């Protein structure tokens, strides 16, 4: 599957240049990675926790790779610039229930194969992949790509916020969509990237970032063909022993300082295996799961607290937070209100 890449070619490009400019500014204004084919290979492996292999036919003809990544809530925005006369390819192994990756071609084009399906994605087009399996991409020449990696939980929450209950979102396989069909999503994404590239961006606030993340996900859901389903209990994959063992360890040590090394020791597996398992069966990372458990436990403690005087810092300490202010910010992001507001509501209900 070899082909030539023509800069700026392809349908749907009319919405691309401004988004491309914002994306490249993220590389210029943030801590970026750049180098040759070997740097690209190592970086792609790190970004995907070893699930994606990058290779080129002739490393001497590969000129330059540049990349930058930013977080938006639980999602990741990745900007990748490729430049070379040789054919490049990535081979990615996607586990079940991982969420979705939105590929937005800003310049150039690439061919993609997933199972028996194939497609060509031109500059100014977006493609969503959410199903498990092996994804192979090929391209040659200069190519600018924007990847938006969105967890399954974020997609489901974005729909739930609009009264659409679902356990799983699945996008139609390999159907490229022009930017012109999702103009609001492209415009909002451009604004988000510009904000993330700024030193004084508003999205440094976790609460605002979470809101922007869900809005971005909902706009993409509205514009790209997809299906949703509620999973019967019997369809939910049973997590392997090391995930259940880690769950138990986390719940028993919420008040303690926990590192990823503590978790791999408790689970009895490598860090890579642990991350892969949590992405596959929990659609999150081990440390994000710990954060969720702590904040959910804190809410239970507040709601069940008796009439004795209470300080929010005491609750924070009981679930492993050393900073009450950070605890309050994370709590509001998770539960939509401050811990003090939860306490006042609980006290009013008892009165």
Residues 140 and 281 in one domain: no
Residues 221 and 248 in one domain: no
Structural domain span for residue 249: 238-350
Residues 204 and 247 in one domain: no
- Residue 315: how many CA atoms within 13 Å on its side-chain side? 27
Residue 1 placed within a domain = no
Say whether 60 sits in a helix, a strand or coil.
Answer: helix
Q: Which residues of the chain have pLDDT under 50?
A: 1-16, 233-236
Residue 8 placed within a domain = no
Residues 61 and 138 in one domain: yes
- Total structural domains within the chain: 2
In angstroms, the CA 47 to CA 80 distance is 11
pLDDT of residue 138: 92
User: Using one digit for the tens of pLDDT, what is the confidence trace for 188-210?
Assistant: 999 999 898 887 889 888 888 88
Residues 187 and 266 in one domain: no
Residues 218 and 190 in one domain: yes
Which of 229, 262, 283 corresponds to the end of one domain?
A: 229
pLDDT of residue 310: 78
Contacts of residue 91, Cβ cutoff 8 Å, sequence gap at least 6:
52, 53, 55, 134, 135, 136
pLDDT of residue 93: 85
pLDDT of residue 229: 65
In angstroms, the CA 221 to CA 216 distance is 9
Residues 160 and 204 in one domain: yes
Long-range own/partner contacts, residues 48-52 (CB < 8 A, 24 or more apart): 48/92, 49/272, 49/275, 49/276, 49/279, 50/272, 51/92, 51/93, 51/94, 51/95, 51/276, 52/90, 52/91, 52/92, 52/93
**DSSP assignment, residue 232?**
P
pLDDT of residue 6: 31
Residues 285 and 265 in one domain: yes
Residues 126 and 159 in one domain: yes
Residue 339 placed within a domain = yes
pLDDT of residue 260: 93
pLDDT of residue 14: 39
Residues 17 and 160 in one domain: yes
Q: What's 267's domain CATH number?
A: 1.10.10.60
Q: What's 205's domain CATH number?
A: 2.60.120.10
In angstroms, the CA 140 to CA 222 distance is 32
Residues 112 and 253 in one domain: no
Residues 168 and 276 in one domain: no
């Amino acid at each position: 599957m070899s082909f030539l890449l023509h800069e700026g070619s392809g349908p749907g490009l009319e919405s691309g240049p401004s988004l491309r400019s914002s994306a490249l500014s993220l590389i210029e204004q943030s801590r970026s990675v750049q180098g040759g084919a070997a740097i690209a290979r190592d970086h792609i492996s790190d970004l995907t926790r070893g699930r994606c292999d990058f290779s080129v036919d002739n490393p001497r003809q590969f000129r330059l790779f540049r990349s930058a990544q930013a977080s938006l809530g639980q999602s990741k925005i990745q900007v990748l610039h490729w430049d070379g006369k040789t054919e490049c390819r990535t081979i990615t192994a996607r586990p079940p229930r991982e969420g979705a990756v939105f590929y937005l071609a800003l310049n150039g084009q690439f061919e993609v194969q997933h199972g028996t399906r194939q497609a060509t994605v031109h500059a100014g087009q977006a493609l969503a992949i959410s199903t498990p399996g092996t994804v192979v991409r090929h391209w040659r020449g200069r190519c600018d790509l924007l990847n938006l990696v969105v967890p399954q939980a974020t997609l489901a929450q974005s729909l739930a916020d609009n009264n659409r209950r679902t356990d799983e979102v699945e996008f139609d396989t390999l159907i490229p969509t022009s930017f012109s069909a999702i103009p609001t999503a492209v415009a909002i994404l451009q604004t988000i990237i510009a904000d993330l590239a700024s030193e004084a961006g508003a999205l440094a606030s976790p609460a605002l970032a979470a809101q922007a993340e869900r809005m971005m996900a909902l706009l993409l859901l509205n514009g790209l063909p997809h299906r949703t389903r509620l999973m019967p209990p019997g369809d939910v994959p049973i997590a392997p022993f090391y995930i259940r063992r880690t769950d138990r360890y986390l719940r028993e040590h919420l008040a303690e300082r926990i590192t990823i090394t503590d978790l791999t020791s408790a689970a009895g597996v490598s860090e890579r295996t642990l991350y892969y398992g949590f992405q596959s069966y929990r659609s999150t990372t081990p440390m994000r799961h710990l954060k969720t458990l702590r904040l959910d436990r804190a809410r239970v403690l507040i709601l069940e607290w008796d009439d004795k005087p209470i300080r929010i810092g005491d609750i924070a300490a009981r679930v492993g937070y050393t900073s009450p202010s950070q605890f309050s910010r994370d709590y509001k992001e998770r539960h939509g209100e401050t811990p003090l507001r939860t306490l006042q509501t609980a006290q009013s209900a008892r009165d």
